[in-house]
């Protein structure tokens, strides 16, 4: 795995984890009871994005180490995922 592939893998993992983490403990304006005129009641009031970004970074580093280790060890290869036999290693 090249350095660019490693950065792309980390970015994909980070954004996937972040999109999962955003709705956790989200308080909407409807939950708080103070809906600003012109906005939806489901608009976030308390979102804690900075804290979620740091937690996401920590979780992503752990997941990246595991996934990169599996890729670099050769435990799972592209040929293992090629169920139709259309890859480069298949005849």
Q: Is residue 67 part of a domain?
A: yes
| Count of domains for the chain | 1
Domain assignment present for residue 91? The answer is no
Read off φ and ψ for residue 70, nearest 5 degrees: -65, -40
Asked whether residue 72 is assigned to any structural domain, the reply reads yes
> pLDDT at position 90, please?
52
Within a domain: residue 89? no
Q: What is the pTM of this model?
A: 0.76
Question: What is the three-class DSSP state of 82?
Answer: coil
Q: Is residue 46 within 8 Å of residue 29, measured between CB atoms?
A: no
Res 34: pLDDT: 83
Residue 24 lies in a domain: yes
Provide the pLDDT for residue 54: 96
Domain that holds residue 40: 3-81
Please choose, from the candidates 81, 80, 82, 60, the residue with its C-alpha nearest in 3D space to the C-alpha of residue 6.
60
Question: What is the distance between the alpha carbons of residues 41 and 44, in angstroms, rounded to a whole number?
Answer: 8
| Domain membership flag for residue 33 | yes
pLDDT at residue 53, as a whole number: 95
Q: How do the pLDDT tens digits run along the chain, 91 residues long? A: 889 999 999 999 999 999 999 988 888 888 888 888 888 888 888 788 899 999 999 999 999 999 999 989 988 877 888 888 777 655 5
- For residue 87, being part of any structural domain is answered with no
> Both tokens of residue 10?
């980390």
């Amino acid at each position: 795995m090249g350095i660019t592939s490693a950065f792309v893998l980390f970015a994909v993992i980070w954004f996937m984890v972040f999109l999962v983490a955003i709705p956790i403990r989200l308080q909407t304006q409807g939950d708080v009871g103070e809906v600003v005129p012109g906005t939806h009641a489901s608009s976030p009031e308390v979102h804690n994005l900075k804290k979620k970004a740091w937690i996401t970074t920590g979780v992503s580093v752990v997941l990246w180490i595991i996934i990169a280790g599996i890729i670099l060890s050769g435990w799972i290869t592209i040929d293992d995922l090629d169920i139709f036999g259309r890859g480069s290693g298949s005849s």
